[in-house]
Amino acid sequence: MRPVEEQGYVVVAVNTATVDYVRCAAMLVESLKTQHPDARVCLITDQPITDPVFDYVHTLPVVSDNAYANDAAVFQLTPFRETIKLEADMLIASPVSHWWDLFRHRDVVISTGCRNWHDDVSTVRHYRQVFDQNHLPDVYNAITYWRLSKTAKEFFDLTRDIFANWDQFRTLIKFSPDQPDTDLVYAMAAQIMGPEHVTLPGSPTIVHMKRHHAATQTNNWTQELVWEVNPLRIQTVAQWGVFHYHVKDWQP
């Protein structure tokens, strides 16, 4: 797609039988526009959406059986020359406009590592065993930047190829799952292209609220930890940057 604006954010949200990802995307964009009222956002989805919080709504040409594979269409569907892709189930807790200048050191930047709600770098590897066993880069697609470029096209062509031909690509790694998620596909593409070309030291990271990162007894941190919004705090600790709340039905 020919870009119609210089820069903006893209969110992929396809509802499932149990999760209203479009609602999550709307919450994300509202939090983003609280910090940056002029931010431009494109929702990529599978259905007509008229929510005015989205500046653009682009429809997926094909909806994959593997929901993660819908991500492969973002390069073709973004209306922006420079794009930051955000996962739907997140909130923006502080200004992020400085990202643009930082990311421009690369054609593609995938965030690496994550933080816990104490703002410490998480050392939890429970969810990254396949990454560690295969020495893959510790990337998180939740924050991904690219600009229209040969490198970005090569990267997203490769991710689409991995999703489409998983039976072949899975033979390249040990302990491969039956269906890959986006983080694993991005990690394999990054490894093939060279992590130094698609990651950036010191790039922004997400606060991850999965059980082991949050150090909770159950998967639902919202029922164990005290939280408040405006500003977003967990156990009185102020959150900043991108907060990946993970509990999809959370109503902040």
Question: What per-residue confidence (pLDDT) applies to 144?
Answer: 98
In 3D space, the residue among 201, 213, 207, 209 whose CA is nearest the CA of residue 242 turns out to be 207
In 3D space, the residue among 130, 14, 8 whose CA is nearest the CA of residue 61 turns out to be 14
Give the count of beta carbons closer than 10 Å to the beta carbon of residue 242: 28
Q: At residue 185, what is the residue type?
A: V
Instruction: Tell me what the mean pLDDT of segment 170-183 comes to.
Output: 96
**Token representation of residue 194:** 């060279």
In 3D space, the residue among 176, 70, 179 whose CA is nearest the CA of residue 131 turns out to be 176
Lowest mean pLDDT among 13-17, 40-44, 124-128, 235-239: 13-17
pLDDT higher than 90, residue 63: no
Q: What pLDDT band is residue 42 in, cutting at 50, 70 and 90?
A: very high
Q: Which helix (H) or strand (E) holds 27?
A: helix 21-35
pLDDT higher than 90, residue 193: yes
Instruction: Tell me what the mean pLDDT of segment 40-50 comes to.
Output: 95
pTM of the model: 0.96
Please give the residue that has the higher pLDDT: either 233 or 72. 233
Q: What pLDDT band is residue 121 in, cutting at 50, 70 and 90?
A: very high
Question: What per-residue confidence (pLDDT) applies to 67?
Answer: 78
In 3D space, the residue among 201, 199, 206, 68 whose CA is nearest the CA of residue 136 turns out to be 199
- pLDDT tens for 64-95 read 778 788 888 999 999 999 999 999 999 999 99
pLDDT higher than 90, residue 2: no
Q: What is the mean pLDDT of the chain?
A: 96
Question: What per-residue confidence (pLDDT) applies to 68?
Answer: 82
Question: What per-residue confidence (pLDDT) applies to 215?
Answer: 97
**Using CA of residue 40, residue 44, residue 45, residue 48, what is the dihedral sign?**
positive
